[in-house]
Structures are given as structure tokens and as C-alpha cells.
């Protein structure tokens, strides 16, 4: 006998598929409004309003080790460490506490040509964050006693730089001697010698409106314009010296079982855009090391070195760094001291007469495009890339526009720049166990 | 050879000398450099394979980044395991239970015994001292020694002839002292105690059988009895007719008790009452 409850439609298996069969709602891609304009105080303001819950705002200046002189080396390192110290409006404690209280991050990032003060916080707390970002980026006072307190931190940072980073610093020094050659890190003999006046002079000279870009993701253009237009920055349009490539060699012997060697010639700066992209493609074509754990790669540079190395461990990667008006292209290599010499010779032989096939070039292109798109995926990397574009080119390009630019570079263009490498002057840097590593004259 | 090979003004600088054993005549060249302790940061890993070596190579642009750390590495983090002090009661704990790894049950008996003994001893000591204090206060209300000394009388027994009862005044009361004859003594001694109203043997009432010392107040309503009168040859109260015998015991009449014997003692031929 069937009970009436069983007959109730709710308790029977449904034969109709309700929401399971509903069409998936079309996901509307977040609005991506790229906008850039130059304000009356000559600050370039770029925004990407992408509805991101986390807002990133950077105040960047074209000021870095490149703008130092022989006497003021290390200034930009101290300047980076001094981010967050007392300003003329808020104390170090106030800045730290307020930023932590809104759950934000405030970082200073330097590369050879620029310094970026970046704030990351949630959108609703932006007003508080911007106030302290302005303090940190434009209202520094550099109290001497606070600078003194940073010395142990500076020493610690210097002692923890890995050799692979040091070798690039040495390579730049050998290649450019000054300007771009000055290190991101303060030389040891300059510790404690960079005082309030040095820093203030550096800030007054280089932290000016025409050398400044304010870049943000996740903010509307109007809000950022309001913030940028009231920044107190100078208006002088000082321009640094143009970069000049010399070439040379620097070696540093250290008690390490490994040798790290970097060899390079002059590449292309961002002012020669097409060549710069060609060099970037050539870098990927030559090989930046295996992409798979424990794996190998068919890239020519890697294969050349692997043949020379046999069963010994080694790592090699093509190296390409483009700055606003110059660049370097070469390779960086690290291996145990006893075989580093052979590998360096083999790799430089390839570098001076690079042989890349069309297949290598198209693989290099694909790798570069993938790298550009992966960087777009990462909001921090994308923001950084926007800041660099706004600062150095005064324009911002969408990822698809950049991909289109890469597409335009033909295999012949890449082969052209590759052919030029052999004529360039070599720069070389070595660090670690340099027993077998040849001198630069021996590489030709 | 040296003169030819090296220019004389440079030669001191083209070699280095150090004295193996300093002799004090030639000063040891001091470098004058102060040895400073160096910050040494060891690498996190020792790279021995191609893979780990390739991980160390920088691939992108070289940048250095630092965050705001105005006052050292300042963080608003409370660490519960180090910041909050756990209250420490070890100052209040017995030695047996200080160590958290031992069982407290094992030492329970000895701790209990000690507690009970200590409490008991303290209670006894407390009670005794309390008693002393209380007695002191209470006795302060009693008569002083000079007053007590005045409250005694000395009576010469030679003045009282045999068979006579004499009356004295002691503390405002009449005091009878009776010199009993031998037959009176024998009579009173032989009275059966169980026949008496207030049962007292004669020996309990006198210290020397020939002398009876009593207070001369009738135990009925306080009249003064008459000596050598009444049916029993002792005392007779004329108010309501109580008869006392020669030992001062009530034998007939309304009085309920024997005549009171005051504290007294004999000193040779003298009695001291009080």
C-alpha cells in the first residue's frame, strides 16, 4: 500500500534537470581600461582600471645607480633602504603602523635606471595608503640617526648577495665603467659615508616631475590624477649622461667551489625597439636553461655547453638586458671551478659566432610571447611592466599590442642582430674559483 | 744580484718580511688594521647538480626590492608562546610537587600528615595562649593580695575553755569556735551518716577533733543560732527552730544544709580563718 507521503513530488527522484541544465552565465571579462596622460606638473599618470580588489599604486622616478657619480656610489641603495623612514609629515612608526593596520604593503624597488615606491592595499583603504605613499616617495627628510640605524641592515644585505647576482654587477661595471656600470648595491667602502645631504641632493636633482610616472592598477584615472597633481616634486628637466659602452674584464676570486662567469657584448637599448625585441627573441632562441625539472633543452647555446661539459654539472643561460639607451647581450654560466674554463671557452665561441636556425628563432618567438602573456597573468608583474613602459616610453601597450610587435620581427631581423654580435667588444666578469677561467683576451 | 735586479728604492716594497721570533730590537711591523667581525651569510643550499645550478641563475631584469622597516623589522605580531607570561605558582608549591613530572599522589600522605600535625600543634598552642590571656583578664577583677590579707583572723585557742563555744567576727559574719569535750566528739563521730539530711561525717568537717570552726549563720534564712541549745546539744536557731548537733550538722528543723565550715588551719595553738 503506497503511503501518500511517497507520492509527494518532493520525495520522488526528480526526472527534470533544473539548474544542472541551465546555460552557464556568460562571464563578463572585467573592464580593462588602459589610460595614460601627462599632468600639468609633467608627471605621467597611467592607470589600468581592472576592478581588481587589490589596488597597486607606484610612484616611480627615473633615478637609480645610473644617476650616481663616482663619489656618490651606493646612494640609490641607501635611498631604497630609507623608504619608510621619518618624513616631514609622518614618523617611521606612523608609516609602518598605518600601512600594517590597513593590511597593505609598501615597497621600494630599484633597478639600474629607476626607483619605484609601490603600495599594495585593498581598494577601500586606498586613501590612507596614498597619504603614506606620498610621504615615502616625495617627502623624505632622512634623519641622520635613522640612517645610522640602517647600516647593519645594509651590511647584512651586502653579505647575502648571491654570486650569480654579483657577477652581473661586475659585468655591468666592466661593460659601462660608470653610469649603468654602478652597482645596485652600495660598495663596502661607501657604508656610512652617504649622509642626509647626499640623499637630499640626489632626491632634489632626480625626483622631478618630468622624470616621474605614477602608475596604478585597480584605480580610476580621476582618482589617480587628483593624487598625482598634488605631489610635491621639482620641475627641472635634468637629463643624465647617455650610456657609453666600453667593454673590459673584472674578476673576483673567492673561496667558493663554483665559478660564475658572465660574458657579454653591447646589445640594443629600448630606444631601438625593433632591435631590442630581436635580441629578446635571440636570447630565448639561444636558451635560458631547461624549463622542465631535471630536463634538458634543444637550444643551441645549451647544447654547445652541454657537449663540452660531458657529465659534469653546469648551468648556462643567455643574458639580455635592455636599458633606455643601451643594453648588453651575452651569457651567464656557473659550473665547478675545474671545468668552468672549458665551458666559458665553448660558450663564448658560440656567442661570437651565433648559429641559430629558423626553427630556433620561431621557438624563441613562441617562448617570448608566452613569457609576455604569463607576466600579464601575474598582477604584480603586469603592474611592474606598466610602470616601466609609462616611465621610459611614455606610452602603455596592452599585451596583445606587445605580441603584435613581437610578431613583426622576422627571422632575418634576428639573424641580423646575431651577426652583429661577433663584431662587438667583449665584456667579461668572473667570480668564485677562477682557476681555469680564461681571461677576456683569450676568448677571441 | 738584488742591486741589479731591483731598483733600490723599490726593493723594500717588493718583498714582505715578518719576524718569526721578535727580538725587541727591530720593531715588528704592525699593520695597524683593526680586525672587524664580518657578517657572514651562508648560502642556503650547496648547489651540486645542473638543475640546482640553473635555478640560481637570474633570468629577468635585475632589481632590488625592500619593504618599509622603519624601526628594524617591526611587525605587529603577538606571539602567544613567548609574549604572554604564564602565572608561576611555584613559590606557593610544596617541594614535593614542584616538579611537574612527578605524581602528586605519591607524596600526598606525607604532605597530609605534616598539615594535620602542624595544624594540631598550632591549635593547642593557640588554645593555651588564649587561656592564659583570658585568665589574666578575669583574675584582674578578683581581690588583690592586701585585701585578702586583711580578710583573715587569728584566734588564740588557749582563751576558749573546754565545752565552750565562742563567737568571733570574720568578714562581717559571726564565726563560732567550739572547744568540744571528749564525749561530744565520741557522740558526733558515731552518728550514722545515712540518717542525716546533709550527709557529712564529722571527720570531714573538722581538722582537729576537739575544735569545731563554723560560720554562725543558719542555712535556712540566715538567723544566728544559739550555742549549746537544742535537742542535739549543739546549736539551735530560734527563728524557725532548726537544731544543729555539736558538729554543726542539721538534725531537725527547716534548714537544708549543715553550717558552713570556712577555710581554716591550725598553727600551734592558734587557728587562722580565711
Q: What is the mean predicted confidence (pLDDT) over B83-91?
A: 83
**pLDDT at residue B229 above 60?**
yes
Question: What are the pLDDT digits (tens) for A257-270?
Answer: 999 999 999 999 99
Contact B66/A at CB under 8 A: yes
Equal CATH topology for A2-229 and A248-442: yes
* pLDDT score recorded for residue A107: 92
Distance from CA of A59 to the nearest CA of B (A): 14
* pLDDT score recorded for residue A10: 53
Sign of the four-CA dihedral B109, B114, B117, B123: negative
Contact B70/A at CB under 8 A: yes
Q: What is the mean predicted confidence (pLDDT) over A141-149?
A: 93
Highest mean pLDDT among A7-11, B84-88, B212-216: B212-216
**Domain A248-442 fold:** Cytochrome Bc1 Complex; Chain A, domain 1 (3.30.830)
Contact B33/A at CB under 8 A: no
Residue ranges of B 35-64 with Cβ closer than 8 A to chain A: 38-41, 43, 47-51, 53-59, 61-64
Please provide the average confidence, as pLDDT, over all residues in chain A. Answer: 90
Residue ranges of A 181-210 with Cβ closer than 8 A to chain B: 184-185
**pLDDT at residue B111 above 90?**
yes
Contact A156/B at CB under 8 A: yes
- pLDDT confidence of B77, banded at 50, 70, 90? low
CB–CB contact B71 A93 (8 Å): yes
Which residues in chain A have Cβ-Cβ distances shorter than 8 Å to B39? 155-156, 158-159
- pLDDT confidence of A239, banded at 50, 70, 90? confident
Residue of B nearest to A94 (CA): B70
Residues linked to residue A298 through DSSP beta bridges, in sequence order = none
Which residues in chain B have Cβ-Cβ distances shorter than 8 Å to A432? none
Distance from CA of B78 to the nearest CA of A (A): 14
* pLDDT score recorded for residue B70: 47
Say which of B58, B68, B75 has its CB closest to residue A106.
B68
Q: What is the mean predicted confidence (pLDDT) over A78-85?
A: 92
CB–CB contact A112 B64 (8 Å): no
Residues of B designated as active site = 240
**% residues pLDDT > 70 (chain A):** 94
SS3 for chain A, per residue? CCCHHHHCHHHCCCCCCCHHHCCCCCCCCCCCEEEEEECCCCCEEEEEECCCCEEEEEEEECCCHHHCCCCCCCHHHHHHHCCCCCECCCCHHHHHHHHHHCCCEEEEEECCCCEEEEEEEEHHHHHHHHHHHHHHHHCECCCHHHHHHCHHHHHHHHHCCCHHHHHHHHHHHHHHCCHHHCCCCCCHHHCCCCCHHHHHHHHHHHCEHHHEEEEEECCCHHHHHHHHHCCCCECCCCCCCCCCCCCEEEEEECCCCEEEEEEEEECCCCCCHHHHHHHHHHHHHHCCCCCCCCCCCCCHHHHHHHHHHCCCCCEEEEEEEECCCCEEEEEEEEEEHHHHHHHHHHHHHHHHCCCCCHHHHHHHHHHHHHHHHHHHHCHHHHHHHHHHHHHHCCCCCCHHHHHHHHHHCCHHHHHHHHHHHCCCCCEEEEEECCCCCCCHHHHC
Q: What is the mean predicted confidence (pLDDT) over A354-374?
A: 93
Among A12-21, A329-338, A367-376, the minimum mean pLDDT is found in A12-21
CB–CB contact B62 A168 (8 Å): yes
Q: Is the pTM of this model over 0.80?
A: no
**pLDDT at residue A444 above 70?**
yes
**Domain A2-229 fold:** Cytochrome Bc1 Complex; Chain A, domain 1 (3.30.830)
Quick check: helix, strand or coil at residue B102? Answer: coil
- pLDDT confidence of A207, banded at 50, 70, 90? very high
Q: What is the mean predicted confidence (pLDDT) over A123-136?
A: 94
Q: Domain extents for chain A?
A: 2-229, 248-442
Question: What are the pLDDT digits (tens) for B189-218?
Answer: 888 888 888 888 888 888 888 888 888 888
**% residues pLDDT > 90 (chain A):** 73
**B238 or B28, which is more confident?**
B238
Cell of A267: 646589445
CB–CB contact B53 A77 (8 Å): no
* pLDDT score recorded for residue B75: 54
**B41 or A103, which is more confident?**
A103
Q: What is the mean predicted confidence (pLDDT) over A90-96?
A: 91
Residue of B nearest to A132 (CA): B68
**B131 or A33, which is more confident?**
B131
- pLDDT confidence of B71, banded at 50, 70, 90? very low
Question: What are the pLDDT digits (tens) for A272-311?
Answer: 999 999 999 999 999 988 888 888 888 999 999 999 998 9
CB–CB contact A159 B58 (8 Å): no
**A245 or B271, which is more confident?**
A245
**pLDDT at residue B138 above 90?**
yes
Distance from CA of B36 to the nearest CA of A (A): 13
Which residues in chain A have Cβ-Cβ distances shorter than 8 Å to B42? none
Residue ranges of A 239-298 with Cβ closer than 8 A to chain B: 258, 288-290, 293-294
CB–CB contact A321 B38 (8 Å): no
Amino acid at each position: 500500500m503506497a503511503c501518500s507521503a511517497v507520492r509527494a513530488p518532493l520525495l520522488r527522484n526528480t526526472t527534470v534537470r533544473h539548474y544542472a541544465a541551465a546555460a552557464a552565465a556568460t562571464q563578463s571579462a572585467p573592464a580593462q581600461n588602459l589610460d595614460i596622460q601627462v599632468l600639468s606638473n609633467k608627471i605621467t599618470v597611467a592607470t589600468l582600471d581592472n576592478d581588481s580588489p587589490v589596488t597597486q599604486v607606484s610612484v616611480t622616478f627615473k633615478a637609480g645607480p645610473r644617476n650616481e657619480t663616482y663619489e656618490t656610489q651606493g646612494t640609490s641603495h641607501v635611498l631604497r633602504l630609507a623608504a619608510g623612514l621619518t618624513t616631514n609629515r609622518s614618523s617611521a612608526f606612523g608609516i609602518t603602523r598605518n600601512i600594517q593596520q590597513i593590511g597593505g604593503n609598501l615597497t621600494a624597488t630599484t633597478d639600474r635606471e629607476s626607483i619605484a615606491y609601490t603600495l599594495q592595499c585593498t581598494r577601500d583603504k586606498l586613501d590612507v595608503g596614498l597619504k603614506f605613499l606620498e610621504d615615502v616617495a616625495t617627502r623624505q627628510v632622512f634623519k641622520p640617526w635613522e640612517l645610522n640605524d640602517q647600516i647593519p641592515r645594509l651590511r647584512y644585505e651586502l653579505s647575502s648577495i648571491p654570486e650569480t647576482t654579483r657577477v652581473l654587477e661586475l659585468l655591468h661595471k666592466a661593460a659601462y665603467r660608470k653610469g649603468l656600470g654602478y652597482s645596485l648595491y652600495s660598495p663596502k667602502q661607501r657604508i656610512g659615508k652617504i649622509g642626509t645631504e647626499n640623499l637630499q641632493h640626489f632626491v632634489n636633482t632626480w625626483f622631478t616631475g618630468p622624470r616621474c610616472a605614477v602608475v596604478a592598477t585597480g584605480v580610476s584615472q580621476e582618482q589617480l590624477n587628483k593624487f598625482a597633481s598634488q605631489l610635491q616634486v621639482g620641475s627641472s628637466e635634468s637629463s643624465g649622461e647617455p650610456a657609453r659602452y666600453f667593454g673590459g674584464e673584472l674578476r673576483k676570486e673567492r673561496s667558493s667551489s663554483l665559478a660564475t662567469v658572465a660574458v657579454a657584448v653591447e646589445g640594443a637599448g629600448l630606444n631601438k625597439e625593433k632591435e631590442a625585441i630581436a635580441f629578446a627573441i635571440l636570447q630565448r632562441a639561444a636558451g635560458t636553461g631547461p624549463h622542465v625539472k631535471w630536463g634538458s633543452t634543444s637550444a643551441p647555446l645549451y647544447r654547445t655547453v652541454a657537449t663540452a661539459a660531458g657529465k659534469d654539472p653546469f648551468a648556462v643561460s643567455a643574458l639580455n638586458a635592455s636599458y633606455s639607451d643601451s643594453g648588453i647581450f651575452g651569457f651567464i654560466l656557473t659550473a665547478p671551478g675545474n671545468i668552468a674554463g672549458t665551458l666559458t671557452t665553448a660558450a663564448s665561441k658560440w656567442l661570437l659566432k651565433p648559429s641559430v636556425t629558423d626553427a630556433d628563432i620561431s621557438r624563441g618567438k613562441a617562448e617570448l610571447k608566452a613569457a609576455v602573456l604569463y607576466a600579464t597573468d601575474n598582477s604584480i608583474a603586469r603592474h611592474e611592466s606598466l610602470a616601466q613602459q609609462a616611465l621610459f616610453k611614455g606610452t602603455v601597450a596592452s599585451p596583445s599590442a606587445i605580441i603584435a610587435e613581437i610578431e613583426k620581427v622576422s627571422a632575418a631581423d634576428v639573424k641580423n642582430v646575431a651577426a652583429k654580435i661577433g663584431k662587438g667588444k667583449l665584456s667579461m666578469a668572473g667570480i668564485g674559483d677562477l682557476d681555469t677561467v680564461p681571461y677576456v683576451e683569450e676568448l677571441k | 744580484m738584488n742591486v741589479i735586479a731591483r731598483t733600490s728604492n723599490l726593493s723594500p716594497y717588493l718583498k714582505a718580511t715578518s719576524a718569526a721570533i721578535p727580538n725587541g730590537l727591530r720593531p715588528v711591523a704592525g699593520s695597524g688594521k683593526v680586525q672587524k667581525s664580518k657578517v657572514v651569510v651562508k648560502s642556503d643550499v650547496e648547489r651540486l647538480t645542473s638543475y640546482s645550478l640553473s635555478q640560481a641563475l637570474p633570468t629577468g631584469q635585475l632589481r632590488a626590492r625592500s619593504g618599509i622597516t622603519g624601526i628594524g623589522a617591526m611587525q605587529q605580531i603577538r606571539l602567544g608562546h613567548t609574549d604572554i607570561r604564564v602565572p608561576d605558582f611555584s613559590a606557593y608549591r610544596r617541594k614535593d610537587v614542584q616538579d611537574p613530572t612527578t605524581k602528586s599522589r605519591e607524596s600526598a600522605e606525607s604532605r597530609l600528615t605534616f598539615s594535620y600535625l602542624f595544624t594540631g600543634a598550632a591549635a593547642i598552642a593557640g588554645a593555651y595562649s588564649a587561656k592564659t590571656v583570658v585568665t589574666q583578664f578575669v583574675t584582674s577583677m578578683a581581690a588583690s593580695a592586701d585585701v585578702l590579707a586583711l580578710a583573715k583572723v587569728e584566734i588564740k585557742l588557749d582563751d576558749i575553755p573546754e565545752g565552750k563555744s565562742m563567737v568571733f567576727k570574720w568578714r562581717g559574719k559571726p564565726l563560732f569556735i567550739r572547744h568540744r569535750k571528749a564525749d561530744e566528739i565520741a557522740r558526733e563521730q558515731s552518728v550514722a551518716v545515712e540518717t542525716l539530711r546533709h550527709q557529712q561525717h564529722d571527720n570531714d568537717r573538722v581538722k582537729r577533733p576537739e575544735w569545731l570552726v563554723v560560720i554562725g549563720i543558719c542555712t535556712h534564712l540566715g538567723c544566728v543560732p544559739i550555742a549549746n541549745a537544742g535537742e542535739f546539744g549543739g546549736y539551735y536557731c530560734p527563728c524557725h527552730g532548726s537544731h544543729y548537733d555539736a558538729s554543726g550538722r542539721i538534725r531537725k528543723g527547716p534548714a537544708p544544709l549543715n553550717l558552713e565550715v570556712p577555710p581554716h588551719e591550725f598553727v600551734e595553738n592558734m587557728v587562722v580563718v580565711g
